[in-house]
Chain A
Amino acid sequence: MALQDYRNDMQRCSRCSCCKWPPLAQIKSWRFSHVCPSMVWGNFHAYSASGRLIAGLALLEGRIDYTDKFVEIVYQCQMDGACDISCKVNRDLEPLEAMLELRARCVDDGQILPAHMLMIESLRSDDNPLGEPKAERGKWAEGLDVKDIAREKADVLYFAGCQHSFDRDLWGAARAAVTLLRMAGVDVGISGTQEACCGGRAYEIGYRGEFTKYAEHNIETWNAAGVRTVVTSCSDGYGTLKLHYPKVGKTMNFDVLHITEYLDRLITEGRLKPTKKVPLQVTYHDPCHLGRLSEPYIPWEGVESKVLGQVVIQDPPKKFRRGTNGVYEPPRNVLKSIPGLELVEMERIKEYAWCCGAGGGVKEAYPDFALWTAKERLEEAKATGAQALVTACPWCERNFRDALAQNGEKMKLYNIAELLLEAL
């Protein structure tokens, strides 16, 4: 698909602004009633999904041309998809897909951000967008004595992802995940220094060529290694594997699970038995890429036509992804399995959760905006009265940590795997 393929969607936007709010029936208070960080940050309508559809249409119609402000509007957005979910309560449009195509169009036309270029250069040189040396990849697992799938066969590949691989503050979460799998008797291996980025961030910032390269490489590598399951603690990576990898058209001979799905399964099967009390009241942050953005890709190729006069239909019928089939219950089940732990929910959860702020290339290009977004989520977490915030994504955790540090706040922050390990 290309930008012009969404021209009808752009023309059919009604400018109702539902993309700025959670699904209206799900609003629970004035304070936490917004769902689009970009819109709250930018204020002009252009910063909403509707605004970006209109900008795309204006570009296609030749009403406007690229400017620095145009590019800022396109990229000052986490691409968290909340707008898409709210829109689809009442509409059959694809605002997020159109916004992704707008970014790809910008890249094709050379309208790029220096910060994103650095990410891409780092990808090209070191297989990660973080500017870290490839040789350092795999250090997070030192001392774990875990299989390297380049040398040994394993049923399950643990894919650490870039953030877990290079951010020492987050190594504990990856190590906890592998430890838990091994405690449950899972035959698990890693790729160590040979692991490469999933390519998801490249896709989000519009660099389709880089994405395809990594998707094809990883699928081929994992197929060749004969792994039956790829497990990751990185929600960004998980969402990429579930949603974007199928788009490249290569057969994937493996299942993809997020660590919370696997842990939930192991607990249900009795292979992990949390027995130690963890007396803590926590609230859980749904990562966008584990929630609404992890809904599996639903391939559709067809045409739009009309019946009953002007009713617009898709032939063959198209299933719309409305975010409700994301991974929501497994992480909650894991938390509820921990003795002594109490889970209290925030107001904006599951398919209409507020984003952590890190995604879509925002943390790299607009760090202030990323931190502000995280602080807004921390305020919501604090409003529950919980002592700790739990998440299941290293990008979220990194951004929350940075926001807490900037504010000098003491709220506890946990990765779900680390918390479970405490209970075993």
Chain B
Amino acid sequence: MALPTNVYRVLEAIVGSENISQEPVILDTYAFQWLAETVTGGKFFTRPEAVILPQDVEEVQAIVKACNRYGVRFKALSTGWGPWNAPGGEGVIQIDLRRMNRILDIDEKNKYAVVEPYVIFAQLQVEAMTRGLNCHIIGAGANASPLASCTSMSGMGLSGISMGYSARNPLAVEWVLPTGDILRLGSLGSGAGWFCGDGPGPSLRGIMRGAHGAMGGLGIFTKCAVKLYPWPGPPLMQIEGVSPSYAAPIPDNFRCYVLSFPNWDSFADAAYKIAEAEIGYVMGKQIGAAIAPMLMATSATEYAQIRQSGTADEIMQEFRYSFQLILAAHSLGEIEYQERAVKEILAETGGWIPSLTQDPQVQKTLFRMLIKADINSTVFRLSGSFGTSFGAETSCDAAVAHAKAGEQVKKKYIDRGLIVDDGAEWAWGAEMNEQGRYGHLEELFMYDPADSESAKGAAEFLEETSLMCKDRALGLPIFELVRGGLGPNAHDIYGPACSNYHIWQRKIKKAFDPNTASDPSFYIEP
């Protein structure tokens, strides 16, 4: 369905001719997405009818109202990384929120920042650190948008142990509903500022994003207050070394570890104990066994040489049941206490600190990676792309069950040569959100998007693990739902096994979006 000329003119009048385009070369850069090849067989999803760049909430509202008036669907994006950002089908315009890129306020006393959609975590973090604060950064990395994560998309990250995850961190929100009405959630709704997401004023966090977010299927979020947390480190982290081995000195009141364990069960026991001791600042399994040799390599070729020489065998074994841990304290006495607690936990669980990670330089590199969350796109380095599976929020014990299940399935695909041989292990996450209230774990895998057989294998792996989630009651396979591989009725597969949530979700969609103007493809078809 081509966008009628008169509708284009209406949209153009809202943002100006320089901020809207129907040029194929521009449209294709929005149709192109990571993982597209596992769904469409090529690098492109459906091309949007137009791309439009609003600069404020008034323009967003006018665009959404025009879409409702003329029967056009819209899909908004912030940084636009991931298949759920792409139009789900024909007749969709893409609303790129890039021009809305300001940090509007940082309230030091009440520990929150108000951000627009195109602010990225890296920007927010450096501004927060100058004020003795920090923000939760999601697993996707510091190049992602805090607003998008808080309002619309999952949001797990390794700082979850001390900073919660993105469902917890939004406070007041400015929301352009699919109809074009503006709804201000929380304290903002009663004119009381940004300090609270749940009142005084409407509290609709569950509808707004629930556990995983509507991924652009329920309107557009234009401002969001995001919780900030204490940062007892320097106002500006000094970075040493050269790319790709940047490193950050570890302040005296911090510690940075990799902790290894003999098996998954002792791994889970230790995670619980650390959470219960309330000593973790960042904790989780960022660097799995297969990726550990990257600590010694600067390219995929070097990595392969290390693996093939056998020098990485011991390291990989040590990283198999391991997680990374950063301790942060407000005094030297406190950090010494935390350090003693870690030693006791290791003794109780049979854990140890791998020799590689006792090297101060490796520790500094890890410290930078874990605080700055800047290595996350390294998962693309070895084969060109990666995917992830499972991903429900659950207990740490159940998360470990995901890891065990993932290993079994993955081995088949490795044996067929379709994905990277990572020793059938790369459980990512295992962060103990909110000091252990619940955990999260995904099984990552790496494939080559330029190789159609590898891409097909990746799709098969995702489908198999996703169906396993239902068959073995492992929770919602969040990644498969947002990839789009199961098609528009994905939730009908899982809803009956999960309290029929899909019925409620569909009703919410109909109530909030009577014209189905907000592209439902990655949320739920009405």
Contacts and interface: CB of A to CB of B under 8 A. Distances in A.
Interface in A358-412: none
| The 9 nearest A-B residue pairs measured at CB | A12-B384, A24-B374, A324-B242, A11-B450, A310-B383, A313-B301, A69-B23, A309-B421, A90-B377
Contact of A55 (B29, B42, B375): B29
Given A15-B80, A90-B377, A23 B29 contact: no
Contacts of B447: 310
A306 interface: yes
B448 A45 contact: no
A15 B81 contact: yes
Interface in B444-494: 446-451, 454
B244 A54 contact: no
A312 B24 contact: no
18 contacts: A11-B37, A14-B377, A21-B143, A23-B374, A25-B239, A25-B374, A43-B53, A45-B96, A70-B23, A85-B243, A308-B308, A310-B383, A310-B420, A311-B420, A311-B446, A317-B302, A318-B301, A320-B299
A310 B120 contact: no
Interface string A301-330: 000001111111111011010111000000
Interface stretch (B167-175, B270-278, B331-339, B411-419): B411-419
A258 B21 CA distance: 44
Interface string A3-47: 000011011111111100101111111100100000000011110
Contacts of A7: 450
Nearest to B247: A25
Given A12-B450, A309-B414, 20 more contacts: A14-B377, A14-B385, A16-B380, A17-B80, A28-B126, A30-B124, A33-B122, A43-B99, A45-B80, A55-B29, A58-B28, A61-B42, A70-B25, A92-B299, A308-B307, A309-B419, A310-B446, A311-B307, A312-B448, A351-B242
Contact of A311 (B37, B51, B304, B376): B304
Interface in B5-56: 19, 21, 23-26, 28-30, 32-34, 37, 42-44, 51, 53
Interface of B: 19, 21, 23-26, 28-30, 32-34, 37, 42-44, 51, 53, 79-81, 96, 98-99, 103, 119-120, 122-124, 126-127, 141-143, 236-237, 239, 242-244, 246, 248, 298-305, 307-308, 368, 372-378, 380-385, 414, 417-421, 446-451, 454
A69 B126 contact: no
A32 B273 CA distance: 42
A406 to B, nearest CB: 21
A57 interface: yes
Listed residue (B21, B25, B28) with the most chain A CB atoms within 10 angstroms of its CB: B25
A320 B122 CA distance: 25
A24 B372 contact: yes
B24 to A, nearest CB: 4
A160 to B, nearest CB: 32
Contact of B418 (A24, A26, A310): A310
B449 A12 contact: yes
A301 to B, nearest CB: 15
A89 interface: yes
B246 A23 contact: yes
Contacts of A17: 79-81, 143
Contact of A43 (B19, B32, B303): B19
Given A17-B80, A21-B122, A63-B24, A308 B421 contact: yes
A92 B299 CA distance: 6
Contacts of A315: 301
B377 A26 contact: no
A322 B122 contact: no
Contacts of A192: none
Contacts of B298: 320
A113 to B, nearest CB: 16
A51 interface: yes
A260 interface: no
Interface in A66-95: 67, 69-70, 73, 85, 88-92
Interface residues of A, number: 61
A15 B383 CA distance: 15
A324 B103 contact: no
A44 B96 contact: yes
Contact of B43 (A11, A70, A314, A320): A11
B22 to A, nearest CB: 10
Nearest to B414: A309
A356 B384 CA distance: 33
A211 to B, nearest CB: 26
Contacts of B448: 12, 306, 310, 312
A16 to B, nearest CB: 5
Nearest to A48: B29
A64 interface: yes
Contacts of B244: 88-90, 322
Listed residue (A15, A54, A67, A91) with the most chain B CB atoms within 10 angstroms of its CB: A15
Interface of A: 7-8, 10-18, 21, 23-30, 33, 43-46, 50-51, 54-55, 57-58, 61, 63-64, 67, 69-70, 73, 85, 88-92, 306-315, 317-318, 320, 322-324, 351
B241 to A, nearest CB: 9
A221 to B, nearest CB: 36
Given A310-B447, A313-B304, A54 B29 contact: yes
A300 to B, nearest CB: 11
A25 B96 contact: no
Nearest to B19: A43
Contacts of B127: 29-30
A24 B32 contact: no
A320 to B, nearest CB: 6
A27 B23 contact: no
Given A90-B377, A90-B378, A312-B382, A15 B99 contact: no
Given A7-B450, A27-B126, A30-B103, A322 B243 contact: yes
Nearest to A319: B299
B309 to A, nearest CB: 12
Contact of A317 (B19, B141, B301, B384): B301
A16 B81 contact: yes
Nearest to B455: A11
A307 B308 contact: yes
Given A14-B377, A24-B122, A8 B300 contact: no
B135 to A, nearest CB: 13
Listed residue (A85, A311, A318) with the most chain B CB atoms within 10 angstroms of its CB: A311
Contacts of B143: 16-18, 21, 24
A351 B126 contact: no
B32 A54 contact: yes
A307 B23 CA distance: 40
Contact of A33 (B28, B123, B376, B446): B123
A33 B142 CA distance: 12
A89 B19 contact: no
A90 B385 CA distance: 12
Given A11-B450, A18-B143, A25-B239, A67 B51 contact: no
B81 A26 contact: no
A149 to B, nearest CB: 37
A12 B142 contact: no
Listed residue (B24, B53, B243, B380) with the most chain A CB atoms within 10 angstroms of its CB: B243
